[in-house]
Structure 1
Amino acid sequence: MVISWWSLLWCIVPVAIVAAIYACWCAEDLLEVLYACLRMVIQLALVGFALIWLFDHPDAYISVAVILGMLGIAAWIAIRPLRKLAEFSPHSWLGAVIALVIGVGICLLITMLGVLAISPWFKPSFIIPLAGMYLANSMNVISLSAERYFAERRGGCYKSQAKKRAFKASMIPQVNGLFAVGLVSLPGMMTGQIISGVEPMIAVRYQIMIMAMLLGSTGMAAALMLNWLSSKDRILRNT
């Protein structure tokens, strides 16, 4: 089923409802939410045109360059909540980059070369959407873990204890997702495949791969970011 641009106008309804809630409860953030929605639409439209060109002109260097660009932006967004904290350091972005490169890189290589055995390995229609999915989830976990780490440190926790608590808290959404998948929700990728006509058991195998890789990439990224932050941490106790 093809969704027309006119049909997408119905999406304004839930956005308007949430905007009204923001206006009543936290008006100071209303413009940010509306800006985020507008930016989302523009970004996705531009990405759609870019992907059409990339799929028609597959190239290893271009695919890698696109992924590196996505990675740099993801790292910058990941440390966004930290910029308001007194403990924020410019080194945090580098820590996020390293965490994403290793965490996402390992899982992306396993996916492309092991599970899917895609040839060529840089096929844009596979590597770019998968990289985006892994980066987005890992980016969110990095944000949660870093923010919780500094909250625990300010509360008087030692570094090792703060890392453990931050890691556990940041992984709650991922672990909850593993428990809920199939019983409470059908994840986006699986739903999209089924709607597009893919046989359900094929969609299931793809979703198992995605869930496992997301757990791996987010877990590694969070652990690496927390180790980076603790090595640079000079607040409170140093043990």
Structure 2
Amino acid sequence: MNSTITPISLTDLAIAFIPVLFGLYLLFRWSLNVKQASYALLRMLSQLLMIGYVLSYIFYSDNAWLISTILLMMVLISSWIALDSIKDNRLPLLKGAIVAITIGGGATLILMTQGVLKLDPWYQPKILIPLAGMIFANAMNSVSLSAERLMSELNNNNTYQVARNQALNAATIPMINSLLAVGLVSLPGMMTGQILSGVSPLIAARYQILVMCMIFSSSIISAFIFLVMAQKTTLIQKPKP
């Protein structure tokens, strides 16, 4: 098996944007938010190109403080983005999002890297940063879904308990669907990347199981903590009369 991945030139990479342009055209045809989609694509492109250069430096760093600072930034940024769909209540709920993602994602990250992978030193950036990214991103999505659904249910004059339960259920749907589909409908990113790099599919499957466990647990725990803390926010304690 070839253990090397073919490098992608910028010219070849441009081909990947052909279906993207077609997708934007379809949004334009139906008068949907093509500007937001275009902005998101441009931001994705710039962020990934930039992070490629940054990670080249970080991965060869041996500074625990630098890695800790990066993890903190990931938590803060993901917490802020998670509440983007409820901007009117973003600041009152921000503390809950930060605590939820820190505990739900951070505890999972520590268990997986120290209990399963046994990283030594604990801050090995080549392993820690990618895993933290997956964990915090899924925790962010879970908090975002639960926050949006929570406000929607409360605006429909449901009690907080009903709204909370519906919000947690909504947050779990994408994760449960991915668990049902993995290996049958899709080969997730971790497993695909390892297979492409020449790793045995049996070993790649074990790492993917690790990934699915950590994003499942971090997503649910983070959403649960957020919803518990959100009840203390006076803006959403009671449904509208």
- Whether these two folds match at TM > 0.5 is yes
Shift of residue 4 of structure 1? 1.8
| Alpha-carbon separation, structure 1, partners of 2:77 and 2:224 | 20
Partner of residue 236 from structure 1, selected from 233, 236, 239:
239
Structure 2 gaps, min length 5? none
Counterparts in 2 of 1:167-182, with a 5 A limit?
167-182=168-183
Alpha-carbon deviations, 1:149-199, whole Å to 9, x = none?
Answer: 111111121111111111011110001111111111111111111111111
TM-score when normalising by structure 2: 0.93
Which residue does the alignment assign to 2:86?
82
Q: Indicate yes or no: 2:14 matched with 1:9.
A: yes
Partner of residue 46 from structure 2, selected from 42, 45, 49:
42
Which residue does the alignment assign to 1:70?
74
**Amino acid paired to 1:50:** V
Shift of residue 89 of structure 1? 4.7
Secondary structure at the residue paired with 2:184? coil
Shift of residue 237 of structure 1? 6.8
Structure 1 gaps, min length 5? none
| Alpha-carbon separation, structure 2, partners of 1:26 and 1:163 | 34
Which residue does the alignment assign to 2:131?
130
Shift of residue 132 of structure 1? 0.7
| Alpha-carbon separation, structure 2, partners of 1:185 and 1:77 | 27
Corresponding pairs, count: 234
| Alpha-carbon separation, structure 1, partners of 2:168 and 2:44 | 29
| Alpha-carbon separation, structure 1, partners of 2:191 and 2:151 | 36
Query: Alignment identity in percent?
Result: 38
| Alpha-carbon separation, structure 2, partners of 1:214 and 1:3 | 29
Aligned CA-pair RMSD: 1.4
Q: Indicate yes or no: 2:25 matched with 1:20.
A: yes
Contact 1:158 1:237 in 2 (8 A): no
| Alpha-carbon separation, structure 2, partners of 1:226 and 1:148 | 11
Which aligned runs of 4 or more in structure 1 are off by greater than 4 angstroms?
Answer: none
Which residue does the alignment assign to 2:164?
163
